[in-house]
Amino acid sequence: MSALIEFQNVCKYYEMGDTTVVAADHISFQIQRGEFVAIVGSSGSGKSTCMNIIGCLDVPSEGTYLLDGRDVGGMNKNELAEIRNELLGFIFQQYNLLPKLNLLENVEVPLMYAGISRSERRERAEAALGMVGLEEKLKHKPSQLSGGQQQRVSIARALAGEPAVILADEPTGALDSRTGREVLSLLQQLHAAGNTVVLITHDNTIAVQAQRIIRLEDGRVVYDGPSDAPDAVVTPRVAGTGGGAA
Amino acid sequence: MSIFESLTLAFKNIVSSKTRTLLTMLGIIIGVAAVIVIVGLGNGLEGYITESFSSMGTNTLTASVSARGSTRTLSVDDMYDIVEENSGYLDLCSPTVNMMGSVKIGSETSRTSVTGVSEDYFSIKNYTLSKGRGIQYSDIALRAKTCVVGAYVDMAYYGGSAVGETLRVGGQSLTIVGVIEQQSEELEEGGSDDCLFLPYSTAARLSGGVSSYTVTVRDESLIAEGKAALENALEDFFGSDSFYTVTSMSEMLETMTGMISILVAVLAGIAAISLVVGGIGIMNIMLVSVTERTREIGIRKSLGAKERYIMEQFVIEAAATSALGGVIGILLGYALSAVASKVVAGLMETALTVAPTVGAVGTAFGISVGIGILFGYLPAKKAAVLNPIDALHYD
C-alpha cells in the first residue's frame, strides 16, 4: 500500500519583488497511514509552506505531492477545495471558529460543504463534540468558551468529516501549558484510535510527543526519524544558502 | 450545499447586524416607495380625468369659430344648417357663450360659471330639472331675461327657493325660471353645481357674439366621422381651415392621459435613480463586509468551501438585503399612497385615490432583487477569489 502523504522533491518559490525566495528546497518524505508525525522547525524553516502544501491550500512550484495516491499539483481551486473537505481536518493555532455560529453549527460547516443531509450532520457534529467532552455546550457561542475548550471544538470540527489526515498547526501555541498538554493528549488519543496526525510546531518539547520528527531548516529536511533518537531535537546546524520564508 | 442553506446563512447575517442592514436598504426602500406612490398618483389622476371627461360626454364635439380676418361670418343659423346637412353623423347643437365676470345675487357677488346656451343644451349634457323649467326656444327667440341655475346656487343663496327670484349678470337683471338637479355628490363653491345658464341670444348681446358650439354625434363610435364631417363643412364655408377648430372630448381625454403617462414615466424614472443609488450602497456595504469577513472566508475555504459557495453566499445576502428593502418599500409605498389620497382629497376638494398598480409593485420588487444580484456580484466575486492562506492570516 502506498504512503498516505508523499513528497517527491517538492520545491516552493515565492517572488518577492525582484528576488526569488526558496521556501521549500527539494523536500522528500513519506508519511504512512496511522503515523503521528511532527514537522518541526524555527521560523523561516519552511514548515508553514510544508503545512500549506500538505493541507492542499497551496501547490508545489516543482516536484510532486501525492495525497492518498492523488497528484495534488495539477488540481484547480475547486478540486483543492473538494480534497480539503474530503481528506483533511485542520486544527489551527487561533482555533478559527466562526464567531456567529454556535458550536454545533461550527462543527457542521465542513459537513455542509460535503453535502451531507441536515439530520446526519447534526448527529455527527454532536458525536464529535461528545468525543472532546463538550456535549453540554452544543448551543454555546465560541466566545463563551475558554481557549482550551475552543481548541477542542476545532478538533471536533476536524474529526467530524472523518478525514484521512488531521493537520494541526501549532495547536498549543495560544494555550497555557496545562491546557496545551490536554490538547496534546487528545491528539495522542486520536492517533491511538488509528488516525494519521501531522503536527506542525516550532517547539521541540511538543514535537517529541509525536512518534516521528521531520526537522526542517532553511527549506530542507535535516532530520527525519523517531522522536526518541538522541539527535532528534539537537541537530548540528548546516550552513544554509538563501533565505527561508515562513 | 443547497440554495436553502445559503438563504438561511444570508438571513442569519442580515439579522445579526440590523442597523447596518436597515441603513443599507434605505436607498432601495425610498426608491421603491417613491416609484409606487408616483405610479399610483398618475393612475389616480388618470382615473379622475377619465371620469370627469366622461361625465362631460364623450360623444360631444366642440367647435370654436374665430371669424376674424375672414370674408364670411358664421351665424348661428349657418351652424344649425351645417348640423342639419350632416345629420347622418351629427345630432344636437347648441351655441355656448362663456361669460366672464361675476354674478350679483342681492348684495353678494359669486363666481358662478355663466354660460349662454340653446334649448338643446340640457339634453346634450343630460341635465334634468328639479324645479321650474329649462331654457326654451321662445326664450332664445325673444332674448328673454331668464336663467336656469345649478343646485348649489339654489341652496346656497336662496335656501332652495330660487325659482322666481332675480339676480344680475353683467349688469343685466335675470329671472330664475328653473333649477338643475344636483350633479356632483357634494354641493360646493366652484363645483359642477355652481353654474348658471341663460339663453345664448341674451348672453351674446351681453358679451358680444357666439364663437363656440357644442355638437353631439349620433353615436360615440361615430366621433371621428362626425368630427371630419363638421370640419369639412366649416372648411367649405370659410374656404380655409384657419378660422375654426373642432375638438372632441374623447380626443382631449386621450391627449391628457397620454401626457399624464409621459409625466408619470419621467417621474418614476427619476425615482428609479434612487434604486440605482441604493444598489451602489449595497455594493459598498458588501465590499466592506467582504473585507471584514476575510478570515471567515479563509476558514470556510480551508474547510472545503468551493468558490461557488462563497460567491453564492454573498450574492444571496445582497439579493436578500435588497429584496427585504423592496418589501419594506412596497409597504411604505402603500402607506404613503393612503396618506397621499387623503392629502390630495383635502387639497383638491375632490376624491382622488392614489392606487398603486400590481404591475408597478411587481416591477419595483423585481428590480430591487435584480439590483441586489447585480451590485452584489462584484463583492461576491472578490470574496470568492480570495487566497485561503492569505485570508486565514488576515487580521
Q: Helix, strand, coil % (nearest 5) of chain A?
A: 35, 25, 40
pLDDT for B269 equals 87
What DSSP assignment string belongs to B366-386? HHHHHHHHHHHHHHHHHHHT-
Render pLDDT for A127-139 as a digit per residue (tens, 0 to 9). Answer: 999 999 898 999 9
> What is the spatial distance between Cα A44 and Cα B77, in angstroms, rounded to a whole number?
112
Average pLDDT score over residue span A54-71: 93
Which residue matches cell numbers 423585481? Answer: B366
| Cβ atoms B7, B321 nearer than 8 A | no
Structure ipTM: 0.89
**What is residue A245's predicted lDDT score, i.e. its pLDDT?**
43
Q: What is the mean pLDDT of residues A28-51?
A: 92
Query: In the prediction, which pLDDT does B52 show?
Result: 76
Q: Residue A55's closest chain B neighbor by CA?
A: B302
Q: Which residues of A touch B317 (CB under 8 A)?
A: none
Q: What are the residue ranges in chain B where pLDDT is below 50?
A: none
Q: How far is the C-alpha of A190 from the C-alpha of B5, rounded, in Å? A: 31
Q: Taking the CA of residue B246 as centre, how many other CA atoms within 13 Å lie in the half-sphere pointing to its CB?
A: 20
DSSP per-residue codes, A179-224: HHHHHHHHHHHHHHTT-EEEEEES-HHHHTTSSEEEEEETTEEEEE
A235: confidence class by pLDDT, cuts 50, 70, 90? low
| Cβ-based burial of B129 (10 A; exposed 0-12, middle 13-18, buried ≥19) | middle
Residues in A closer than 8 angstroms to B307, CB to CB, are 77-78, 81
Q: How far apart are the first and last CA of chain A?
A: 33
**Rounded CA separation B93/B210 (Å):** 13
Instruction: Please tell me the predicted confidence (pLDDT) of residue A239.
Output: 47
DSSP codes, B318-380: HHHHHHHHHHHHHHHHHHHHHHHHHHHHHHHSS-------HHHHHHHHHHHHHHHHHHHHHHH
What does R_g of chain B's alpha carbons equal in angstroms? 33
Q: What is the pLDDT of residues B261-279, one digit of tens each?
A: 899 889 888 888 888 888 8
With an 8 Å Cβ cutoff, are B302 and A55 in contact?
Answer: yes
> Can you give the pLDDT at residue A242?
44
Residue B3 corresponds to which cell in the numbers above? 440554495
Helix axis angle for A147-160 and A118-131, nearest 10°, is 130
Angstroms from A223 CA to nearest CA on chain B: 27
B307 to A96: CB separation less than 8 angstroms, yes or no: no
Bigger pLDDT: A87 or B394? A87
Q: How close B364 comes to chain A (CA, Å)? A: 33
Contacts 24+ apart (CB under 8 A), B266-269: B267/B38, B267/B42, B268/B35, B268/B38, B268/B39, B268/B42, B268/B360
Q: Is A55 on the interface with B (CB under 8 A)?
A: yes
Q: Is A57 on the interface with B (CB under 8 A)?
A: yes
Instruction: Give residue A234's pLDDT.
Output: 66
In chain B, the largest separation of any two C-alpha atoms, in whole Å, equals 105
Q: Is A38 helix (H, G, I), strand (E, B) or coil?
A: strand
| B278, amino acid identity | G
Residues of chain A positioned with their CB less than 8 A from the CB of B389: 52, 57-58
User: Residue B301: its chain A contacts at CB < 8 A?
Assistant: 81, 84
Residue for cell digits 441603513?
B23
Please tell me which of the candidates A57, A78, A113 has its beta carbon nearest to residue B389.
A57
Which residue ranges make up each domain of chain A? 5-226
H/E run at residue B312: helix B307-348
Q: What is the pLDDT of residue B294?
A: 92
Nearest Cβ partner of B306 from A55, A78, A92?
Answer: A78
CA distance A148 to A182: 8
The identity of residue A63, as a single letter, is G
Contact, A23 vs A49, CB < 8 A?
yes
> Residue A50 pLDDT more than 50?
yes
Please give the CATH architecture assigned to the domain spanning A5-226.
3-Layer(aba) Sandwich (3.40)
- Whether residue A96 and residue B300 make contact (CB cut-off 8 A), yes or no, is no
Mean confidence (pLDDT) of chain B: 86
Q: What is the dihedral of CA A60, A62, A66, A67, to 10 degrees?
A: 0
Q: Count CB neighbours of B41 within 10 A.
A: 25
Q: What pLDDT does B117 receive?
A: 92
- So what's the pLDDT on residue A80? 93
DSSP at B111: -
Q: Is the pLDDT of residue A246 over 80?
A: no
Residue B348: burial class (beta carbons within 10 Å; 0-12, 13-18, 19+) = exposed
8 Å CB contact between B119 and B96: no
Asked whether the beta carbons of B333 and B40 are under 8 A apart, the reply is: yes
pLDDT tens per residue, range B182-226: 887 778 887 788 899 999 999 888 887 888 899 988 887 888 888
Cross-chain residue pair A96–B309, CB shorter than 8 Å: no
Within 13 Å of residue A71, how many CA atoms lie on the same side as its CB?
7
Cβ contact A113–B13 (<8 Å): no
Please state the domain extents for chain B. 3-53+254-392, 59-249
Angle A99-A100-A102 from CA coordinates, rounded to 5°: 85
Q: How far apart are the first and last CA of chain B?
A: 28
Of B16, B304, B389, the CB nearest to A52: B389
| Predicted local confidence at residue A103, as pLDDT | 94
With beta carbons under 8 A apart, name residues in chain A contacting B298.
96
User: Which residues of chain B neighbour A78 with C-beta distances below 8 Å?
Assistant: 306-308
- What the block records as the C-alpha cell of B99 is 361669460
Q: Which of A79, A82, A98, A166 best tests the B interface by mutation, with the highest count of B CBs <10 A?
A: A98
